[in-house]
Structure 1
Amino acid sequence: MHLPFKWEFPGGKVEPEEDEQSCLQREILEELDLRIDIIASLTPVVYQYAGKSPIRLIPFIASCVRPLVKLREHRDSAWLAPEELPDLDWAAADIPIVEEFMNWWKVHKQQI
């Protein structure tokens, strides 16, 4: 694990036969044993950690179809209210996603 004590959103590499949404659904199922529905997309983030190749994060907002987490690749998980997300120690690449999500949440929370 590159950043073992930082919070990161789960995800992974898009396989040749899938789109970005299908990739996230597959990765979440593999990593957390969760089934999700995609609600919205956020702005992709390109970030380069020192000494590493650039990464491109393609974030989505999703809801859980079956919210029982089984950690398969992660050290910890947490169910938090959206207002609690900024308090976590996020990996640098994920911070713009948290910020955009918080803005999205302020506008859409009454609809969900």
Structure 2
Amino acid sequence: MIKVAAAVIVSDGKILAAKRKNERLGGGFWEFPGGKLEPGETPKQACQREVAEELGDQCEVLERIEVSRHFTTPYGELEIDFFWTKLKTYNLKLVAASEYRWLTPEQLESVTWLKPSEPVLEVIKQTDLRKFE
């Protein structure tokens, strides 16, 4: 089982989406910043580390998102913990992505998401994002 943590970053009623670089597996698709847990790391710690590595910023992890988290991929079983998060400084860098966009819940369908990100989209649409401000 591959364990992954991903950040659903909220700011001003919008969500940060990251487009995978074309040379990466799943290139051209959109996702939430995140990655595999390292040995001894909790999902929350992995979420914070991945945001720092992929965006060059620190984040505050607010709460875990209750959503279906198990996926079958060509590389094995995947378990993802998604977290509502906020950035601390908003000094974003293009490290792991080719592009970033801030999307309103209504704009989420305007990009093509990686399959493991899809269950979170409905949760986002049904959540009052102002509660995270």
- TM-score normalised by L of structure 2: 0.72
After superposition, the CA RMSD in angstroms is 1.8
Say whether the 8 Å CA contact 1:39–1:60 is kept in structure 2. yes
CA distance in 1, matches of 2:131, 2:81: 25
Sequence identity (%): 25
Select the structure that is richer in helix.
Answer: 1
CA distance in 2, matches of 1:60, 1:110: 14
CA distance in 2, matches of 1:110, 1:72: 29
In the TM superposition, 1:50-65 aligns within 5 A as: 51-65=74-88
Runs of 4+ residues over 3 Å off in structure 1: none
Which structure has more relative contact order (CA 8 Å, sep 6+)? It is 2
Amino acid at match of 1:13: K
Say whether the 8 Å CA contact 1:46–1:56 is kept in structure 2. yes
Q: CA deviation at 1:92?
A: 1.1
- Partner of 1:54, secondary structure, is strand
Specify which of 53, 56, 60 is matched with residue 30 of structure 1.
53
Alignment of 1:102 onto 2:129: no
Query: Partner of 1:5 in structure 2?
Result: 28
Select the structure that is richer in strand.
Answer: 2
Amino acid at match of 1:48: T
